[in-house]
Amino acid sequence: MEWQKGPYTISSDFSRFDLARVHHYLAHEAYWSPGIPFEVVARAFQNSLAFGIYLGQEQVGWARVITDRATFAYLADVYVLEAHRGAGLSKWLMDVILSHPELQGLRRWMLATRDAHSLYARYGFLPLAAPERFMERHFPDVYKK
Q: What is the pLDDT of residue 144?
A: 82
What was the pLDDT predicted at 55? Answer: 96
Question: In CATH, what number is assigned to the domain containing residue 75?
Answer: 3.40.630.30
* Residue ranges making up the domain that contains 84: 2-128+138-144
pLDDT tens track for 34-63: 999 999 999 999 889 999 999 999 999 999
59-71 pLDDT tens trace:
999 999 999 999 9
Provide, rounded to the nearest whole percent, the portion of the chain with pLDDT above 90.
Answer: 90
The 3 state secondary structure assigned to 15-62 is HHCCHHHHHHHHHHCCCCCCCCCHHHHHHHHHCCEEEEEEECCEEEEE
Is residue 89 in a domain? Answer: yes
Q: How many domains does the chain have?
A: 1
122-132: b or e for each residue (b if 16 or more CB lie within 10 Å)?
eeebeeeeeee
Q: Give me the pLDDT at residue 142, please.
A: 86
Residues in the chain with pLDDT values less than 70: 145
Q: Is residue 110 part of a domain?
A: yes
Q: Sheet containing 72-80: which strands, arranged edge to edge?
A: 2-5, 8-11, 49-55, 58-67, 72-80, 108-111
Please indicate, yes or no, if residue 133 is contained in any of the structural domains.
Answer: no
Give the model's pLDDT for residue 64: 96
pTM: 0.91
Q: Is residue 82 part of a domain?
A: yes
16 class by beta-carbon count within 10 Å (0-12 exposed, 13-18 middle, 19+ buried): middle
Residue 140's pLDDT is what? 84
Half-sphere exposure of residue 88, counting CA atoms within 13 Å on the CB side?
8
